[in-house]
Amino acid sequence: VLEVTLDGPVDAETGMVIDLKHVKDVVEREIAARFDHKQLNADTPWFRERAPTAENFARVIFDLLDAAFPGRLLSSVRLWPTPDWCVEVER
Amino acid sequence: VISLARRYRFSAAHVLARDEWSADKNREVYGKCANPAGHGHNYEAEIWISGEPDPATGMILPVSRLDELVGERVVARLDERLLNRDVPDFARAVPTAENIAHWIWNQLEPALPAGLLRRVRLVETPNNSVEYAGPSEDA
């Protein structure tokens, strides 16, 4: 499970920090499309030099999403390898 | 900042009461939890550590190492116990969720590399939990 937290001002017109549909599309494009059902070491370029530990994977995810969301809106990502443990990267 | 959290479970019983208080006073302060026969909870302790991952391993701390420490120093001492009777520290301090979370912090903090422990979150029931993040910096 991946939890993505965005932190920013509430738009006066829409009453939202960001459109959830947009969040879903960005995460789908930036993360799921690249990593879902992949063998992380072999099928993706990010883990040739470093092991795909939860710590390293969460940092890659944070950096990809941070580049995709405007205005430093990304606050943190939490990656849950199992329901019993997670890794969190905060700005 | 990068952190890792892991959940551990244990079951324990406690009585919330101070020996030096009357039964009425204990019931007034702690309500049903002051029942002298005690009552149990299935606790969940969420242990948070924070630190730079080792460049070689890519890990803050191997989860297996954390499991050993929490297993030996926390779960083995609390699981299936009556806390007031079986854990010497809780003969004095009332084993409230607050005090148990603080106690867990004190067991783990000295056993981990300096500054690694970030937070102990103790879930007592689905409706109540406490968090302890160490002594306040201005204390």
CB contact under 8 A, A84 and B1: no
Q: Locate B80 and state its tokens.
A: 């299936």
Q: Locate B86 and state its tokens.
A: 């079986």
Phi, psi of A80 (to 5 degrees): -105, 100
Minimal CA separation from A46 to chain B, in Å? 13
The reply to whether A55 touches chain B by the CB within 8 Å rule is yes
CA-CA distance, B93 to B101, in Å (whole number)?
Answer: 12
Strands A2-6 and A74-82: antiparallel
Q: What is the pLDDT of residue B30?
A: 96
| Token pair 């017109």: residue | A13
Minimal CA separation from B96 to chain A, in Å? 24
CB A62 within 8 A of CB A28: no
Neighboring chain A residues of B59 at a CB cutoff of 8 Å: 53, 55
- Local confidence pLDDT in tens for the 91 residues of chain A: 999 999 999 999 999 999 999 999 999 999 999 999 999 999 999 999 999 999 999 999 999 999 999 989 999 999 999 999 999 999 9
CA-CA distance, A78 to B8, in Å (whole number)?
Answer: 18
Strand partners, B121: B46, B131
* ipTM confidence score: 0.86
Strands B81-82 and B2-14: parallel
Q: What is the pLDDT of residue B136?
A: 80
pLDDT in tens, A17-42: 999 999 999 999 999 999 999 999 99
Q: Which residues of chain B have pLDDT under 50?
A: none
Q: Which of A11, A12, A15 is nearest to A70 (CA)?
A: A11
Query: Could you tell me the pTM of the whole model?
Result: 0.91
Q: Which of A84, A89, A77 is nearest to B52 (CA)?
A: A89
